[in-house]
Amino acid sequence: MNVDLMPYFILWVALAAVVIVMIVWRKAISSHEDDSLHVLDGGAASQQLNVSHKLDVIDKWGKILTAITVIFGLILGAIYLYQSWIAMSKIGV
C-alpha cells in the first residue's frame, strides 16, 4: 500500500468497523423485538414502538454508512490502481 494512502485506508477500516458494530448493535436490539402484536396491553405496545423506532434509526444510519464505506473503498481502490499503473509506466515495465 502506498504510504500516501495509508491514512485513508485507516479511515476506511474505521468506517468498516463502525458498520460491523452497527450490525451487531441492530442484532442485539432486534433480539428484544416481540413479533406478536399487543393491542390491549399498553406497556407492551409502547415497548414495541420504542424497539421499532430504534431499529428504524439504526437501519437508516446503517444504510448511509454502508453506502459511504463502499463508495469510499471503491474510490480508494481506484486511486491505488491508478497510482500503481503510473508507477509501472514510469519504470517501463
**Alpha-helical segments (H) within 1-93:** 6-30, 42-91
Residue 3: pLDDT over 80: no
20-46 exposure pattern, b = at least 16 Cβ within 10 A, e = fewer: eebeeebeebeeeeeeeeeeeeeeeee
- For residue 62, name the pLDDT band (cuts at 50, 70, 90): very high
- For residue 66, name the pLDDT band (cuts at 50, 70, 90): very high
Contact 5, 79 (CB under 8 A): yes
Per-residue pLDDT, 41: 60
Side chain identity at 77, as an amino acid letter? G
- For residue 63, name the pLDDT band (cuts at 50, 70, 90): very high
Summarize the confidence of residues 57-76 as an average pLDDT.
Answer: 96
